[in-house]
Structure 1
Amino acid sequence: MLVTLAERPDLADAVYAIPYPPGSPAFMAGSLTSLLVRRRRVARRWPHLVVALLEDGRPVARGVMVPFRGRGTLPARGWDEVAVWATEDALDDVTPDTACALEIAVHPEHQARGHSRTVLEGMRAAAAGMDSLVIPVRPPDKAAVPSSSMRDYAAETRADGLPADRWLRTHVRAGGRIEGVASCSATVQAPLEDWRRWTGLPFADDGLVLVPGALAPVFVSTVHNFAVYVEPNVWVSHRVG
């Protein structure tokens, strides 16, 4: 059963308690932009855009969206820019026309059951009334080849013409259309002590460091005591309603 938090506000705590899968990169919590769209803030401001899949009355998966006014093109800076646009439009009382999915999360104990696609269908229904649903997709398998470009990675296909990446393939099978790559979609910049805590790596040398779970290398400056991660995502659009 699919519900939104507008229909079941009592489920907010349980919906957001669904954990990410083991091995999800802890460093993504260092995104400052994500603070604009904190979980409780989205649940309070846009409860109709938070979708939950229930089994036996308990949430086992969630999908979270925010609305913004399209500027004639997809945000070049992906996830981060969506968070900024949605916040600006809310503060300025601008009527949105586009829904953007920030995340889809399935409880680790309920993986590999098609729940991601079910939540995606629920998000499309919840976004009815908008012109479109867009998603800056984070294909986690890209972490196996962090030094390759996202553009080349996203263009790889199987013999049947579907994307080689399993998560992009899920979106295409669900009717999604790959629109392009946001090469600078999500950014994390922090002092080296934070990176050491997040990753367990020494960060003792300048240059590029390969971090488990990262889709691209992390740039490190020991002289200036910081590291910066710039993550590419893939823009996918879906019809709504």
Structure 2
Amino acid sequence: MTEKDNIRIVPLAEDPSLISRVYEINDTWPVFTPHDMVASALLSRVPEDFPQYCVAATDGDRVVARGLAVPFNSVLDGREAMPDQGWDRVLAWAFRDRQYGNAPTAASALEISVDADYLGRGLSYRMLFALRRAAGRQGHDALLAPVRPTAKHLDPRVPMADYLRRCRDDGLPADPWVRVHVKAGGTIEKVAPASMTVSGSLAQWRQWTGLPFDRDGSVEIPGALAPVHCDTAHDRAVYVEPNVWIRHGMEPHTA
């Protein structure tokens, strides 16, 4: 049996025992992202409240990857399928729709996280396809994704639209994670310019990052896709992260 064959990927609805275990993995998210207020309030509830849209990968008894997605209503007044506030907005809409009984019309991925020990094995592709299949089983004709380009932090001052124009000689996106989505059949639709927002006092940012935050203006921090804006007079700093909306259509057999 190959290493790949040992890994099992299932929707959480089919194995509820994994719901409480999806955060056991050693992921590589930047230290500041959990301080996004929408994430801190709602993200941990996604596996339990939307298990039919979420998947987990296991290697024996070990959870090695998670994929989270949510349904939401994109046609209510003031809404759209791919909002400029991206990740934050669809997560908030999903829980509001669940509370008020609004029928979902769209599904959005939220994250695919692979344990650091399992990176580079093609597992991210398999998790992406598993999320698509899960959304297709719920009757959706597409899976949307506000994608966080994994190499964008190397050029935080480059506008996202310009960054997305960077391609390899074969025409595929230069960014590795965007390239995974495109090779899997996804189409780049638009930039989500304010997909996540993290704000805090300067003391909080110093604690989160270990940086001084003692000067006004733009501050580059590890893992950030854009600079953080520091305002010493008002004792605050704000990070607004751009993402990229990618649309994945469904193969006929996934519906």
Question: TM-score range with shorter-chain normalisation?
Answer: over 0.9
1:31, 1:187 within 8 Å by CA — same for their partners in 2? Answer: yes
Q: Following superposition of structure 1 onto structure 2, how do residues 91-106 of structure 1 map, counting pairs within 5 Å?
A: 91-106=99-114
- Which residue does the alignment assign to 2:223? 213
1:143 & 1:203 partners in 2: Cα distance?
A: 19
- Which residue does the alignment assign to 2:235? 225
Q: Does 1:34 align with 2:77?
A: no
Q: Does 1:66 align with 2:70?
A: yes
- Which residue does the alignment assign to 2:10? 3
TM-score, reference length from structure 1: 0.95
- Which residue does the alignment assign to 1:18? 25
Q: Which consecutive unaligned segments of at least 5 residues does structure 2 have?
A: 1-7
Q: Which amino acid aligns with 1:44?
A: E
1:31, 1:188 within 8 Å by CA — same for their partners in 2? Answer: yes
Offset of residue 237 of structure 1: 0.7
Q: Which amino acid aligns with 2:156?
A: P
TM-score, reference length from structure 2: 0.90
- Which residue does the alignment assign to 1:137? 147
Q: Which consecutive unaligned segments of at least 5 residues does structure 1 have?
A: none
Offset of residue 36 of structure 1: 4.0
Number of residue equivalences: 238
1:187, 1:229 within 8 Å by CA — same for their partners in 2? Answer: yes
Q: Given the alignment, which residue of 94, 118, 126 partners 1:118?
A: 126
Deviations along 1:36-60, one digit per CA (max 9) or x if unpaired, are 4232x21221111110112224321
1:94 & 1:197 partners in 2: Cα distance?
A: 40
Offset of residue 62 of structure 1: 0.9
1:173 & 1:138 partners in 2: Cα distance?
A: 16
Secondary structure of 1:233's aligned partner: strand
Q: Does 1:77 align with 2:82?
A: no
Q: Which amino acid aligns with 2:59?
A: E
Secondary structure of 2:185's aligned partner: coil
2:150, 2:176 within 8 Å by CA — same for their partners in 1? Answer: no
Q: Given the alignment, which residue of 181, 184, 189 partners 2:194?
A: 184
CA root-mean-square deviation? 1.2
Q: Which amino acid aligns with 1:193?
A: A
Offset of residue 89 of structure 1: 1.1
- Which residue does the alignment assign to 1:53? 57
Q: Which 4+ runs in 1 deviate beyond 4 A?
A: none
Identity of counterpart residues, as a percentage? 46
Change (3 A) 1:149 1:187: same
- Which residue does the alignment assign to 2:5? none
2:82 & 2:240 partners in 1: Cα distance?
A: 18
Q: Which amino acid aligns with 1:12?
A: I
